[in-house]
């Protein structure tokens, strides 16, 4: 089968990769920039550089095609004007409508359109039978484009318009996309629904549309429209980032469009999505942004330190960051557990430096170690029952700690009673004294 993909960007390239190894498919792809030719050349028999509004160039790209897949979109800044939308979609489909009858082999056109043509439904469901009611000029251009494509339908030539939700996937991860919103305040309440579709499901549905000769409108969205606020909450929480705060009183102008887009027809066509729900990234990032946020929290904390748990307290593996400032007092303690071998504690210094003191049961120092990010000694594992304390030797010191859970506060630590309790002047003096041991060492002549 001869197929031409017009517009080989994010989706088009993934689609070309999908078809590359199919011996039945002979592929032509297009882009608008000469510099992309070499990137696309391994994926297709032919690469054409064109704007689809250029009729003769489009005719050349489609001349033998049995199927034309239009995945074109204005390149560059996502917030393009409605005029730029017109120049991409309206001009291209006007050119196609004018020449389609000169393409006798062409039996199907597939276009990746957008759900934005539905406009607002007050939070209600919309499907392919719901009249389109775009709310802005961009949506009107897209609807007009669908109408131009409709004119290309003829006996023996099908036109399938896939109305897509917002696309996410590799290289367009939700975590990265929403990261800049962390901790921001946004107008409104975020209750409006959004529809998403994974890039690989766009590819899968286009391939199914071609294999199955789909015709007409098909919504290409996942199974679960999500309120924007819920989606942001989930994604930001998964990235250990601050949530967005909503400010209903600050909302001005028209309310954002709210609709739940049904994919029932997609299911009726027998198509199954690989990602029926938005996949929230399962990564909890441990990065400088997190260190900086925790450092400022620990500077303000009365104890001069704070924990950031990656685990739940009931988890069997307790893993967390401990961010400390010089002056914080850690009362000497040991971890005793009922099960042998489970009272260990492992530290790694990810930023800054600590002084670790290992003590005997009487409180005498038996080992003194400087642990430093990027230094000679970067971490240790303490054996069960080993009494220890530590002092922060640099501001904003970040430790990664690992020990056996679940965390039971009353059973976690066994303090040496001869050392002062936290928050007392004696504790402050003790911490200064321990820190001085390391500072003296640093200042000592070699
Ligand atoms: N992104 C979304 O969330 C979303 C949502 C709903 C629907 N859609 C639709 O999904 C499709 C795929 O989007 P995408 O993210 O893959 O887009 P993309 O990465 O921006 O790629 C767009 C492709 O279209 C080409 N192009 C630009 N102007 C053109 C023109 N006038 N004539 C011919 N080709 C042109 C570009 O050429 P160059 O390679 O030279 O730049 C590029 O190859 C589009 O039809 C879009 O409207 C996207």
Q: What was the pLDDT predicted at 150?
A: 97
250 occurs within a structural domain:
yes
In terms of domains, do 420 and 295 share one?
yes
Please give the pLDDT value at position 286.
Answer: 87
Position 296 in a domain: yes
Ligand 1 atom nearest to 115, measured from its CA:
6
| Residues 417 and 297 placed together within one structural domain of the fold | yes
Query: Are residues 223 and 314 both part of a single domain?
Result: no
**Is residue 203 located within the same domain as residue 338?**
no
Ligand 1 center from residue 20 Cα (angstroms): 20
* pLDDT per residue as tens digits for the range 310-327: 887 778 899 999 999 999
CA of 75 to the centre of ligand 1 (A): 6
- Which pLDDT belongs to residue 385? 86
Percent of the chain with pLDDT over 90: 78
Calculate how far, in angstroms, residue 7's C-alpha sits from the geometric centre of ligand 1: 6
Would you say residue 118 lies in a domain? yes
The answer to whether residues 330 and 259 belong to one domain is no
- Residue 107: give the domain boundaries: 2-268
- Compute the average pLDDT of residues 431-435: 96
399 with 432, same domain: the answer is yes
CATH number for the domain spanning 219: value is: 3.40.50.720
Checking if the pLDDT of 445 tops 60, the result is no
Question: Are 256 and 296 found together in one domain?
Answer: no
Among the listed ranges 55-69, 228-242, 377-391, which one has the minimum average pLDDT value?
A: 228-242
- pLDDT of the residue at 76: 62
139 and 182 together in one domain: yes
Report the C-alpha gap between 12 and 52 in whole angstroms. 15
Q: How many domains does the chain have?
A: 2
How much is the pLDDT for 331? 95
58-67, 209-218, 307-316: lowest mean pLDDT where? 307-316
Is the domain of 244 the same as that of 319? no
70 and 112 in a common domain: yes
- Residue 42 CA to ligand 1 center (angstroms) comes to 20
| The pLDDT value given to residue 310 | 86
Contact of 403 with 344, CB cutoff 8 Å: yes
Q: Is 362 exposed, middle or buried (0-12, 13-18, 19+ CB in 10 A)?
A: exposed
Cα 12 to ligand 1 centroid, rounded to whole Å? 8
Last residue in a domain, options 233, 268, 303: 268
Locate the ligand 1 atom nearest the alpha carbon of residue 202 and give its number.
10
Within this chain, do residues 41 and 177 fall inside the same structural domain, yes or no? Answer: yes
Residues with C-beta less than 6 Å from any ligand 1 atom = 6-12, 30-33, 36, 51-53, 71-75, 88, 92, 112, 114, 164, 166-167
For the chain, what is the radius of gyration of the CA atoms?
A: 31
CA atoms within 13 A on the CB side of 414: 11
CA of 21 to the centre of ligand 1 (A): 23
Q: Does residue 327 lie within any of the structural domains?
A: yes
- Could you tell me if residue 278 is inside a domain? no
pLDDT over 70 percentage in the chain: 97
The arithmetic mean of pLDDT across residues 48-65, rounded, is 97
| Residue 443: predicted pLDDT | 63
Atom number, ligand 1, closest to the C-alpha of residue 51: 32
Task: Choose between 339 and 117: higher pLDDT.
Answer: 117
Q: Residue 283: pLDDT band by 50, 70, 90 thresholds?
A: low
Task: Say if residue 25's pLDDT is above 70.
Answer: yes
Q: What is the pLDDT of residue 249?
A: 85
Would the pLDDT of 382 be above 60?
yes
275 within a domain of the structure (yes/no): no
Residue 185, exposed/middle/buried by CB under 10 A (0-12, 13-18, 19+)? exposed
Ligand 1 centre and the CA of 9: distance in Å? 6
Domain presence at residue 121: yes
The chain-wide mean pLDDT, for the chain, equals: 93
β 397-404/345-351 pair status: antiparallel
Which residue's CA is the nearest one to ligand 1's atom 25? 7
73-112: pLDDT as tens digits: 997 655 788 888 988 999 999 999 999 999 999 999 999 9
Q: What is the pLDDT of residues 156-179, one digit of tens each?
A: 999 999 999 999 999 999 988 999
**Which of 4, 9, 118, 148 gets mutated to test ligand 1 (max ligand atoms within 8 A of its CB)?**
9
Residue 444, pLDDT above cutoff 80:
no
- Does residue 80 belong to any structural domain of this protein? yes
- Compute, in angstroms, the gap from residue 325 CA to the centroid of ligand 1: 50
Residue 381, domain CATH: 2.60.120.10
The last residue of one of the domains, among 213, 234, 268, is 268
pLDDT of residue 78: 59
pLDDT of residue 415: 87
**Mean per-residue pLDDT for 294-306?**
94
Reference 229, options 197, 269, 159, 181; nearest CA is 181
pTM above 0.85, yes or no: no
- Residue 414, pLDDT score: 83
| Residues 244 and 357 reside in one and the same domain | no
pLDDT(213) > 90: yes
Closest residue CA from atom 11 of ligand 1:
71
Cα distances (angstroms) measured from residue 178 to each of 73, 173, 182: 22, 9, 7
Cα distance between residue 134 and residue 113, in whole Å = 13
Examine the fold and report which residue of 268, 302, 332 is the final residue of a domain before the chain moves on. 268
Which residue out of 33, 73, 76, 149 has the highest number of ligand 1 atoms within 8 Å of its CB and is therefore the one to mutate? Answer: 73
- Work out which ligand 1 atom sits closest to the CA atom of 72: 24
Q: Calculate how far, in angstroms, residue 31's C-alpha sits from the geometric centre of ligand 1.
A: 9
- 42-55: per-residue pLDDT in tens? 999 999 999 999 99
Smallest CA separation from ligand 1 atom 46, residue: 73
Q: How far is CA 238 from the centre of its chain?
A: 9
């Amino acid at each position: 089968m001869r197929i031409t993909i017009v517009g080989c960007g994010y989706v088009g390239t993934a689609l070309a990769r999908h078809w590359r190894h199919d011996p039945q498919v002979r592929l032509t792809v297009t882009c608008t920039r000469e510099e992309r030719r070499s990137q696309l050349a391994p994926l297709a028999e032919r690469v054409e550089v064109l704007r689809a509004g250029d009729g003769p160039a489009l005719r050349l790209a489609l001349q033998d095609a049995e199927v034309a897949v239009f995945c074109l979109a204005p390149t560059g800044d996502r917030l393009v004007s409605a005029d730029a939308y017109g120049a991409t979609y309206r001009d291209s489909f006007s050119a196609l409508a004018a020449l389609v009858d000169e393409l006798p082999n062409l039996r199907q056109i597939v276009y990746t359109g957008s759900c934005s043509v539905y406009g607002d439904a007050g939070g209600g469901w919309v499907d392919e039978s719901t009249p389109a009611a775009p709310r802005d000029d961009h949506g009107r251009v897209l609807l007009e484009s669908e109408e131009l494509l409709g004119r290309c339908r003829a006996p023996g030539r099908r036109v399938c318009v896939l109305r897509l939700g917002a696309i996410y996937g590799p290289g367009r991860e939700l975590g990265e996309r929403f990261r800049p919103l962390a901790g921001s305040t946004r107008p409104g309440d975020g209750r409006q629904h959004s529809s998403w579709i994974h890039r690989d499901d766009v590819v899968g549905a286009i391939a199914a549309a071609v294999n199955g000769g789909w015709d007409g409108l098909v919504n290409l969205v996942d199974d679960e429209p999500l309120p924007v606020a819920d989606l942001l909450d989930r994604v930001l929480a998964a990235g250990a980032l601050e949530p967005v705060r909503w400010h209903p009183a600050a909302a001005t102008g028209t309310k954002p469009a709210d609709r739940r887009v049904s994919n029932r027809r997609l299911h009726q066509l027998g198509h199954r999505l690989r990602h029926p729900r938005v996949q929230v990234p399962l990564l909890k990032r441990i990065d400088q942004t997190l260190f900086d946020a925790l450092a400022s929290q620990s500077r303000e904390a009365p104890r001069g330190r704070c924990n950031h748990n990656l685990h739940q307290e009931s988890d069997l593996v307790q893993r967390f960051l401990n961010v400390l400032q010089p002056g914080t007092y850690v009362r000497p303690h040991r971890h005793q557990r009922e099960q042998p071998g489970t009272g260990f504690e492992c530290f790694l210094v990810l930023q800054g430096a600590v002084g670790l003191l290992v003590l005997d049961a009487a409180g005498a120092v038996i080992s003194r170690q400087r642990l430093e990010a990027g230094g000679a000694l970067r971490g240790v594992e303490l054996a069960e029952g080993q009494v220890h304390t530590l002092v922060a030797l640099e501001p904003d010191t970040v430790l990664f700690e690992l020990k056996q859970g679940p965390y039971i506060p009353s059973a976690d630590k066994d303090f040496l009673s001869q050392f002062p309790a936290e928050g007392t002047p004696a504790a402050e003096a003790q911490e200064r004294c321990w820190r001085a041991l390391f500072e003296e060492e640093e200042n000592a002549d070699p």
